[in-house]
């Protein structure tokens, strides 16, 4: 789970106490003052928020990874975030974006008014949506991460480019109706993330993101990645539980 972007990862209580000093050290300099550090520490230890599996920016333990922690706090307009390296034995559980969407669907519009509409688009296009970003954190923690008009971030899987183009059109219509900005990333085979708007464009190359970095992907290679035979042996269970 530490090798798959956007996975929400929980660490045990004993590990939180060990990790807290390094977490506080990773706060941006303007956020390094006692009152904010105490607030961050309290949320980290008492609310037990999950971290988000992300690309390491420094050394990590063998078999481990880096977690980015996003807090329901802002300093002016800037979200308070920090990151820390963790070992695999400090991890207790992971929640995929697809599982977060399943929870949000059970909660319905109490999770967010746009959830039923997103579910309807999935049904119409055959694509699958996962929730990421602040909405995902709000759904799993119950803490107030969103403000009125906050963007919604999602990740989507589609079986073919045509279905993703239909999804893009439906998503655009939903944004126009609601005035809500919805940022969508497509998850390709190999856990490569590509912005939906780039994927459906006529650009010769798109930017792909993985847990280890970024790369430019040509249209030819993109066609290979999206072909039904590419990675066909990888099951849904393997996608969601790497």
Q: pTM (2 decimals)?
A: 0.90
Task: Break the chain down into helix, strand, coil percent, rounded to 5.
Answer: 40, 30, 30
Q: In terms of residues, how long is the chain?
A: 242
Q: Residue 207: its pLDDT value, please? A: 95
Terminal CA-to-CA distance of the chain, rounded, Å? 6
**Of the candidates 186, 185, 189, 187, the residue with the CA atom closest to the CA atom of residue 228:** 189
State the average pLDDT over residues 209-216.
93
Tokens representing 89 are: 């034995």
Domain boundaries, the chain: 8-95, 97-230
C-alpha torsion angle, residues 180, 121, 141, 19 (rounded to 10): -90
What is d(CA 220, CA 165) in angstroms, rounded to the nearest whole number? 18
**Of the candidates 92, 66, 99, the residue with the CA atom closest to the CA atom of residue 211:** 66
**Tens digit of pLDDT for each residue in 58-97?**
999 999 999 999 999 999 889 999 999 999 999 999 999 9
Beta strands 152-157; 205-210: pairing state: unpaired
Asked if the model's pLDDT at residue 173 lies above 80, the reply is yes
Tokens representing 40 are: 């961050």
């Amino acid at each position: 789970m530490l090798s798959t972007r956007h996975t929400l990862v929980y660490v045990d209580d004993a590990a939180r106490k060990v990790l807290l000093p390094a977490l506080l050290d990773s706060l941006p300099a303007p956020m390094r003052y006692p009152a904010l550090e105490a607030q961050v520490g309290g949320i980290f230890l008492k609310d037990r928020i999950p971290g988000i599996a992300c690309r390491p920016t420094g050394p990590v333990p063998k078999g481990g990874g880096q977690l980015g922690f996003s807090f329901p706090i802002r300093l002016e307009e800037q979200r308070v975030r920090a990151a820390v390296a963790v070992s695999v034995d400090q991890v207790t559980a992971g929640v995929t974006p697809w599982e977060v969407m399943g929870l949000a669907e059970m909660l319905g519009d109490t999770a967010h008014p746009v959830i039923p509409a997103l579910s309807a688009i999935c049904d119409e296009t055959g694509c699958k949506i996962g929730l990421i970003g602040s909405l995902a954190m709000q759904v799993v923690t119950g803490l107030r991460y969103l403000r009125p008009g906050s963007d919604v971030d999602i990740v989507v899987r589609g079986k073919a480019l045509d279905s993703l183009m239909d999804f893009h059109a439906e998503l655009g219509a939903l944004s126009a109706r609601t005035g809500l900005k919805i940022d969508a990333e497509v998850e390709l085979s190999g856990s490569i993330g590509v912005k939906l708007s780039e994927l459906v464009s006529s650009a010769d190359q798109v930017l792909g993101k993985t847990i280890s970095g970024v790369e430019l992907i040509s249209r030819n290679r993109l066609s290979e990645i999206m072909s039904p035979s590419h990675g066909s042996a990888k099951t849904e269970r393997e996608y969601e539980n790497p």
